[in-house]
Amino acid sequence: MADPVARPTAEDPAAFLAAVQHPVRRRDGVALAALMGAVTGAPATMWGPSIVGFGSYHYSYASGHQGDAAAVGFSPRKAHLVLYGLTYGPGAGDLLARLGKHRRGAGCLYVNTLADVDPGVLRLLVAGGYDHATTVLHVPRQS
């Protein structure tokens, strides 16, 4: 069974964000951490070296591969913010149409800056994605 690339680590998310070199990414990362923490009620956890995640869910594929992933999260990359877990919740398509300037990737969103998106819509996407991951996607662990 393949090891997942991103696993929870003991690294401090606040220290990670404070070390982000790009000032806009650092500011937006701190703001996203506060927003996601407030919406989910979950503490921030580093997943791998660069993803700040909130909550988790366990998944299992028909192939037998299973693992854990952050319910929602983000990574303040050099070129843009990458937001994870926000495209799967109920009504996500309609909300994404109202979000503002963004680009969709395979299961993620790319945002240049938080100033480009509607914060109320972003909160709804975080809430819907978190709820979907922790209730609908979550499967019991199999030994």
Residue pLDDT, tens place only, 64-105: 888 899 999 999 999 999 999 999 888 999 999 999 999 999
| Residue 111, in any domain of the structure | yes
| Residue 58, in any domain of the structure | no
Containing 83, the helix (H) or strand (E) segment is strand 81-84
| Residue 14, in any domain of the structure | no
User: What is the rounded CA–CA span in Å between residue 63 and residue 123?
Assistant: 34
| Residue 61, in any domain of the structure | no
| Residue 92, in any domain of the structure | yes
| Residue 2, in any domain of the structure | no
Total number of domains in the chain: 1
Q: Domain limits at 78?
A: 23-53+66-137
pTM above 0.85, yes or no: yes
pLDDT score recorded for residue 41: 97
Residue 53's pLDDT band (boundaries 50, 70, 90)? Answer: very high
pLDDT greater than 50 at residue 119: yes
The SS3 call for residue 107 is: coil
| Residue 105, in any domain of the structure | yes
pLDDT score recorded for residue 62: 86
Burial 27-55, CB ≥16 within 10 A → b, else e: bbbbebbebbbebbebebbbbeeebbbbb
Q: Please state the rounded mean pLDDT for residues 30-53.
A: 97
Residues 6+ apart with CB under 8 A from 111: 80, 81, 83, 101, 102, 103, 117
pLDDT greater than 60 at residue 2: no
Q: What are phi and psi of 82, to 5 degrees?
A: -110, 125
| Residue 32, in any domain of the structure | yes
